[in-house]
Amino acid sequence: MVNFGQPRSPELGHEKEKLVDFDAVVVGGGHAGIEAGLAIARMGFSTLMITQSLDTIGRMSCNPAVGGLAKGNMVREIDALGGEMGRLIDKTMIQFRVLNRSRGPAVQAPRAQADKLAYAVEARKTLENQPGLTLFMDTVTDFLLDSTGSTVTGVVTDRGRKFTCRTVVLTTGTFLAGKLFIGEWSGPGGRLGEMAAYGLDRRLRELGFTVGRLKTGTPARVKRSSLDFSKMVPQFGDDDIVPFSFGQLKVDRQQLPCYVTYTNDETHQVLRDNMHRSPLYSGKIVGNGPRYCPSIEDKVVKFPDRERHQVFIEPEGLYTDEMYLNGISSSMPEDVQERYIHTIPGLEHAVIVRPGYAVEYDYMDPSQLYPSLETKRLANLFVAGQTNGTSGYEEAAAQGLMAGINASLKMRGEPPLVLSRTEAYIGVLIDDLVTLGTEEPYRMFTSRAEHRLNLRHDSCDRRLTEKGYRIGLVDETAWHSFLQKKQTIETLKDGLKARRVTPKDAQLCPVLGAHLGDTFYQSLKDPTVDFQSLTSVDPTLTHNAPESWLSLAELDIKYEGYIGRQQLQVERFERLENLSIPQDFNYDALAGISRESREKFKKVRPLSVGQAGRISGVRTSDLAVLMLTLKK
């Protein structure tokens, strides 16, 4: 037994078991590890987080931002469930914008630039102050298994330490057998200047897991004082900051502008002339890169007709001179990076303080996981983040939270929390991963969600807070605030249904002239009428509710018809999801289906007919045979 941390209390189990060093071990201190560690500790279990460096917890390896299209929705879903990412970015943002503000609410999303250093400091502080959570600096290289070899019982570190536990959450990010590339140079590492993690890559393969290689990259960072901003277009944040966390009504922080510039023919020619020196095209890099966030050399090769590519110049914090060149990630040699960067307007004299580079790393095929993120091959081992083949801080944090929740629920002896595609982008993310797998870094988009009108970023708490409260991650204060908000919105709607438009109202507000005799609720469905129009004739309608609550009530009313039609689709979807498939179902005994469908059913082992139908390559006729057999 180790002599630090808090061993599991016997009363947490349903029967008396041998005490372990910790209830759970979380491997890794990135965005997935942070959420997993906090969730398990907050749900009452002693937790050990083992990371290679305590000084890099919560570090933003790439762009210094949180949120974006679909990603911002996931951050708010994390918060609604009781996770931490929304609170961290609210404390450390230096610019905020709602993307697609001019478009419909289903595709709008919040995005914030982060003070990179402050974010990591706040993350570490939160972990260190969390009761039941212990941090430890080492590298996990192996697992401890039970006598059958089918259940994880602990971990072994590089220095030979052994920690026994009931569950393990693996969140290794880009560090698992990581290798860095800058032109002709390459070397081991998970981030520039940080060592790679070895041991588990070999062990996972020995245990029979399918492990592949992926690649991602990052651009150069430049010295702010060396840039000419007069040649760029400034991009300012929104005056009205919408907090990511539902626990805050207001964020008041200093905002810094970003800037926009563009590459040009000269930039592209420098890259074309040196393409033979790119490790991406010389064959040195074998891992698949992100389709939707390609390097600048990839853009030049794949889009030869494009005359220019956008470059966002983003500050990395209030107390640093570094600027991030979003849009031109590269693994070109450093002399080539310097030459092509100097062809871009405003960057002619840019001083590079960190070169761009690519990192190649091992990942696990996520189709080897249940929707709870527990592995099918080893019981009590949960996997989250880039280890599952995703890209992005938000995707990692979402998985980390769900892995932590489900590891805790398993220790309680309760069924896992599996979010549906109809109720959360997190549900879409995990369902895509475990059902379809991935051979390239997976990134979330609004287009991946069939029911995105139901998944607006402003409605996350109404979809998920009750689930967070039920499992014990949403505290009483947050729960009662949520109930008050929910009740107030219903009161607002009831007031609009009870009030009718009078001739006097139409005189005071001419847009109401077309709605004489209609209820205020009905008139609000008119695109030319807004809540402000109604309150201009009757200020009591607001019930002194915050502006954001009024906006929610208005959107609910305006999109009521669309939401109703989508709800019919949701109900059809849920009928298939409710047709469950036993985990021990014998697909070999399923007569009359194709060999391909049989193999894919056996590999994925879907939990429902709905999930079975989303497996790529499964025939409709084979799905019908499966449904008929289950009904019998």
How many CB atoms within 10 Å of residue 337? Answer: 26
Number of H helices, E strands in the chain: 21, 21
How many CB atoms within 10 Å of residue 568? Answer: 9
Please give the DSSP secondary-structure letter assigned to residue 236.
Answer: P
Is the predicted pLDDT of residue 16 greater than 80, yes or no?
no
Mean per-residue pLDDT, 77-84:
98
Q: How far is CA 614 from CA 397, 435, 551, in A?
A: 24, 7, 36
Is the predicted pLDDT of residue 11 greater than 50, yes or no?
no
Whole-number Å distance between alpha carbons of 620 and 38: 42
Q: What is the pLDDT of residue 13?
A: 43
The two structure tokens encoding residue 249:
């009504």
Q: Name the more confident of 77 and 582.
A: 77
Is the predicted pLDDT of residue 267 greater than 90, yes or no?
yes
At residue 353, the 3 state secondary structure works out as: strand
Whole-number Å distance between alpha carbons of 632 and 625: 11
Q: Which helix (H) or strand (E) holds 241?
A: none
Whole-number Å distance between alpha carbons of 415 and 412: 9
pLDDT confidence bin for 628, thresholds 50/70/90:
confident
Is the predicted pLDDT of residue 612 greater than 90, yes or no?
no
Q: What is the pLDDT of residue 250?
A: 86
Q: What is the pLDDT of residue 10?
A: 38
Percent of the chain with pLDDT over 70: 97
Q: What is the pLDDT of residue 625?
A: 87
Beta bridge partners of 367: none
Whole-number Å distance between alpha carbons of 92 and 87: 9
pLDDT digits (tens, 9 = 90+) for 506-523: 888 898 888 899 999 999
pLDDT confidence bin for 116, thresholds 50/70/90:
very high
Q: What is the pLDDT of residue 104?
A: 78
The pTM of the full predicted model, rounded to 2 decimals, is 0.92
Whole-number Å distance between alpha carbons of 429 and 373: 11
pLDDT digits (tens, 9 = 90+) for 442-501: 999 988 988 888 899 999 999 999 999 999 999 999 999 999 999 999 999 999 999 999
Q: What is the pLDDT of residue 14?
A: 42
Q: What is the pLDDT of residue 632?
A: 75
The two structure tokens encoding residue 463:
């979809």
The two structure tokens encoding residue 525:
């469905």
Helices (H), 83-115: 85-92
Beta-strand pair 352-354/221-223? antiparallel
How many CB atoms within 10 Å of residue 356? Answer: 23
> Could you tell me if 443 and 292 are in contact, meaning their C-beta atoms sit under 8 angstroms apart?
yes
Mean per-residue pLDDT, 595-609:
88
Q: What is the pLDDT of residue 290?
A: 80
Q: What is the pLDDT of residue 17?
A: 52
pLDDT digits (tens, 9 = 90+) for 180-239: 999 999 999 999 999 999 999 999 999 999 999 999 999 999 999 999 999 999 999 999
Mean per-residue pLDDT, 529-537:
88
Q: How far is CA 553 from CA 23, 344, 365, 567, in A?
A: 43, 46, 42, 18
